[in-house]
Amino acid sequence: MNAASPLVDVRGVTLQYKTRDHLVTATYRVDFKVFPSDRFVLLGPSGCGKSTLLKAVGGYLAPVEGEIRLKDRVITRPGPDRMMVFQEFDQLLPWKTVQENVMFPLVASGRLAAAAAEEKARHYIEKVNLTRFADSFPHTLSGGMKQRVAIARGMAMEPDVLLMDEPFASLDALTRRKMQDELLQLWDDTQFTVLFVTHSIPEAIKIGSRILLLSPHPGQVKAELNSLTRDAHEAAAAQALEQRIHAMLFADAVEEQEEHSHG
Amino acid sequence: MAEPTIARQDFVRQTAMDSERAVVEKPLSKFERIYNVGVVRKLAILVALAVLWEAYARWLDNPLLFPTFGATVDAFVEGIVHGALLGRAWTSIRVLMMGYAAGILAAALLTVIAISSRIGTDFLETLTAMFNPLPAIALLPLALIWFGLGTGSIVFVLIHSVLWAVALNTHSGFLAVSNTLRMVGRNYGLRGLSYVARILIPAAFPSILTGFKIGWAFAWRTLIAAELVFGVSSGSGGLGWFIYENKNQLEIPSVFAGLLSVIVIGLLVENVIFRTVEMRTVRRWGMQS
């Protein structure tokens, strides 16, 4: 076990939200710890509360039971120390260019002055290979490019943890694979900590270093596994792990959950 | 599964070279390009209308009822060069700007109250439901009693005509801002007024702009109507008064020239000012096609 103190510590967290006529329990007493430089994946079928859990880490939702700590401080509200990357393409501010979108949080949160923010934005835009489009407005970009801008924006803030809520789920299969590879390359550069939500088992195995399996209705921890190390990424091992996870997730599920974008 | 019955080979092909393939991109013909410019099409419509006007007026041959386009233009030019037309237009626009600005300020205040609490939202919705259907001009008699014969009364009815349209559109624009954008704004640590100014207002800008346009049109109509009712305020009347005065003197071409000025100013504001703002903001941002 890692002797270092956890970066994100989720302790016995129960989350509830209200719809028009129901009080829904999204997760029930979930525990997990994310350590620095983890690529920590929350994996589960829809209805397991993985997105809700990520929003709670983001500070958008307060637990009714338990607590979430970031660097040993209880999270009470959203903040730029936890940058979110959403699934939706409309997460970029349409009235700002790519460059301005990446700069804006740096300046708005008072972290950097405009000149320094511009420098840093340019650096991260180059990292996601969008230098040519720095002065374009978001509506002229493809879905994959928009997600790359969102990732650059998150990384430029150099947050304690990057929160990614199914960032590639709305992309076509080819672009998704390319984006997954690029994300791993970026991780090789700076070894940032990322908390990544997905409902795709292959994506979890590919992206994650550690995988938390959640069972649905309400979301509870089913297992926490190490993913494959990246150099030992052979097809056979990946397939074996995939089958193992699949068996665990659907062990007692009679009807298989329809895979769709909401978790 | 059965194999397909026809055996086929795999093949890989070279794509055609630049020189030998068909056109990929070629410029449109000159006529098509000109016809694609919106201004040109609209100008053509205006010219056709002017020709129709001239033809009908000549056929009618009764300058007291319906002067020709040429006579109207003459009166218009005459009014600008020697007469009071420019001064009158300026008086109207000055009063209009005062009422418009005050109306927008009041709308901003009301919308801020509306988004900060649920009771505030109910307050705005109730007030809008009550006062939006009430024609501003119907308040004029009351305004005359409260503020007397003068600019104050007109500004009061102008505020009424601008306020509800702008507040309603701005508020519904705020409500329509996507949840993702709201979360992004809060993620940056923005709260309170800086959140409103840096996320909500730009995100709702298409609706806000629509509110401004509707508010402007309402205000302009209300103003001319109000001036027609009691015209002179503090010595110099506006365009409505100009129309009324010339009707009394049976200077019908000047009446038409006054109406033409109302139309021209309306067209200019719509097609130059609002269009420019639209081009530089919502269209550039891809928020409106």
- d(CA A105, nearest CA chain B) in Å: 5
Annotate A64-78 with DSSP letters as a single string. SEEEEEETTEE--S-
Which of B180, B189, B202 comes nearest A109 by C-beta?
B189
By DSSP bridging, strand A82-85 and strand A161-165 are: parallel
Q: Is residue B91 exposed (0-12), middle (13-18) or buried (19+ Cβ within 10 Å)? A: buried
- d(CA A27, nearest CA chain B) in Å: 21
Instruction: Please give the model's pTM, rounded to 2 decimal places.
Output: 0.79
When computed from its CA atoms, the radius of gyration of chain A, rounded to whole angstroms, is 18
State whether A93 and B190 contact (CB < 8 Å): no
- d(CA A220, nearest CA chain B) in Å: 25
- Tell me how many residue pairs between chain A and chain B have CB atoms under 8 A apart: 64
What pLDDT is recorded for position B235?
A: 55
For residue B182, which residues of chain A lie inside 8 Å, CB to CB?
none
Q: Alpha-carbon distance A191 to A180, whole Å?
A: 15
The residues, ordered by sequence, that sit 6+ positions from A171 with a Cβ below 8 Å of its Cβ are: A143, A144, A147, A179
- d(CA B188, nearest CA chain A) in Å: 5
pLDDT tens, position by position, A1-11: 445 688 888 88
B156 or B5, greater pLDDT:
B156
Interface of A with B (CB under 8 A): 55, 58, 60, 77-80, 82-84, 86, 88, 90-91, 93-95, 104-105, 108-109, 137-140
- The DSSP H or E segment spanning B161 is helix B151-175
Q: Which CATH architecture has domain A1-78+203-263?
A: 3-Layer(aba) Sandwich (3.40)
What average pLDDT does range A178-188 have in this prediction? 85
Q: Please choose, from the candidates B160, B132, B129, the residue with its C-alpha nearest in 3D space to the C-alpha of residue B223.
A: B160
pLDDT of B37 higher than 50 = yes
Domain extent listing, chain A: 1-78+203-263
State whether A78 and B181 contact (CB < 8 Å): no
What average pLDDT does range A83-98 have in this prediction? 89
B211: pLDDT confidence band, cut at 50, 70 and 90? Answer: very high
What pLDDT is recorded for position A255?
A: 47
CB A162 within 8 A of CB A195: yes
pLDDT of B130 higher than 70 = yes
- The DSSP H or E segment spanning A42 is strand A39-43
Q: Please choose, from the candidates B47, B34, B224, the residue with its C-alpha nearest in 3D space to the C-alpha of residue B140.
A: B224
B22 or A30, greater pLDDT:
A30
pLDDT tens, position by position, A225-234: 777 777 655 7
What pLDDT is recorded for position B232?
A: 55
Mean pLDDT lowest among A160-164, A190-194, B67-71, B231-235: B231-235
Measured over all CA atoms, what is the biggest interatomic distance in chain B, rounded to whole angstroms? 97
Q: Is residue A74 exposed (0-12), middle (13-18) or buried (19+ Cβ within 10 Å)? A: exposed
Q: Alpha-carbon distance A170 to A189, whole Å?
A: 26
State whether A90 and B281 contact (CB < 8 Å): no
How much is the ipTM here? 0.83
For residue A60, which residues of chain B lie inside 8 Å, CB to CB?
183, 186
pLDDT of A91 higher than 80 = yes
Q: Please choose, from the candidates A157, A125, A143, the residue with its C-alpha nearest in 3D space to the C-alpha of residue A88.
A: A143
What pLDDT is recorded for position A259?
A: 45
Across B22-49, b (16+ Cβ under 10 Å) vs e yields eeeeeeeeeeeeeeeeeeeeeeeeeeee
What average pLDDT does range A174-182 have in this prediction? 84
Measured over all CA atoms, what is the biggest interatomic distance in chain A, rounded to whole angstroms? 58
Minimum Cα–Cα distance from A101: chain B residue: B184
What pLDDT is recorded for position A257?
A: 46
Q: How is residue A186 written in tokens?
A: 């970026």
State whether B188 and A95 contact (CB < 8 Å): no
What pLDDT is recorded for position B98?
A: 92
- Percentage, residues of chain A above pLDDT 70: 92
What average pLDDT does range B193-220 have in this prediction? 90
Interface of B with A (CB under 8 A): 178, 180-181, 183-184, 186-190, 194, 198-199, 202-203, 205, 281, 284-287
- d(CA B257, nearest CA chain A) in Å: 42
What average pLDDT does the structure give for chain B? 85
Q: Residue A13 in 3-state DSSP?
A: strand
- Percentage, residues of chain B above pLDDT 90: 25
